[in-house]
Amino acid sequence: MKVAANSVRTGHILIYNDDLWVVAKQPEHTKPGKGPAYIQVEMKNLKTGTKTNERFNSSDYLDRAQLEQKEYQYLYMEGSNLVLMDLETFEQIHLSQDVVGEENMPYLADNMIVIIESFQEKPLNLRLPATVILEVKETDPVIKGATATSSYKPAIMENGLRVMVPPYLTTGEKIVVKTEDSTFVERAK
């Protein structure tokens, strides 16, 4: 499927030079004083793991890989593999931690529903839910008179992640956190 270069985002998987590449960082859009606008894209090869930076004109079209998406339930870790269950057939599969990515591992919780993206029946990527509910395990005490201002304090979550939270939150409260960038959304209801 062809997509405009200026619509490419982090996590998209592209077919470039007959290989599969995942966009590693948010592409940078640049409009120089002279010449046409361009997009700088940092990509990682899914086979070899090598990274490259490519520059595309904003009018270029790139090949985005058509990925098959299927829901699985995360069950448990077995060595360095994740064990997941297909929600339709109840078959279990083993998925390497490399496919999941270091940044996603802390968010995985037992029985969590995730989406596995595959290309030609080979798992390439694991997509987490957009938000997760986590418990605050450690944070500074509430500051008297603190309101919902733009000042935030650090908090350690139950999974070890560090998230900046509003000053009125205390240890033991549950909050909603965005998995994309580990930011506070709201108190859990």
Tokens of 69: 């998406």
CATH second-level architecture of 131-187?
Beta Barrel (2.40)
pLDDT in tens, 110-129: 899 999 888 888 888 788 89
Contact 29, 37 (CB under 8 A): yes
pTM, rounded to two decimals = 0.70
pLDDT in tens, 31-41: 888 888 899 99
Question: In the structure, what pLDDT confidence band is assigned to residue 147 with cuts at 50, 70 and 90?
Answer: low
C-alpha 52: how far from its chain's center? 20
What pLDDT is recorded for position 148? 53
> CATH for 2-64?
2.30.30.30
Residue 167 confidence (pLDDT) above 90:
no
- 85's CB contacts (< 8 A; 6+ apart) are 72, 73, 75, 91, 92, 93
What pLDDT is recorded for position 143? 66
Only one residue has tokens 């500074």, namely 140
Instruction: Name the segment(s) of the chain with CATH classification 2.30.30.30.
Output: 2-64
